[in-house]
Amino acid sequence: MPPEFRPRLFDRMARAGQTAGTVRGTGLGLYIVRSLARSNGGEVHYEPNPGGGSVFVVEADAGT
């Protein structure tokens, strides 16, 4: 995950410039995940994976 792209990671229609032309997708996936998490009282965030790649953590309230 390029550091300069991380602030826009969960924006609607966001795609990293270096892969936007070669990787399929609309840039809506993480936006939808964040919207669903927030609408249910949760949150999602990005963490770099020390072994390579990315980790996305969804935090949710267990409810009552």
Alpha helices for the chain (secondary structure H): 29-39
Provide the residue type at 45 as one letter.
Answer: H
What is the per-residue pLDDT for 62?
78
| Alpha helices (H) in 5-56, listed in sequence order | 29-39
Q: Are 22 and 45 in contact (CB under 8 A)?
A: no
pLDDT digits (tens, 9 = 90+) for 13-53: 666 665 556 667 667 888 899 999 999 999 999 999 989 88
What is the pTM for the complete model shown? 0.72
Q: Is 60 left (phi over 0), alpha (psi -120 to 50) or beta?
A: beta
Question: Residue 15: what pLDDT?
Answer: 65
Domain boundaries, the chain: 6-59
Distance CA 41, CA 43 (A): 7
Q: What is the pLDDT of residue 3?
A: 82
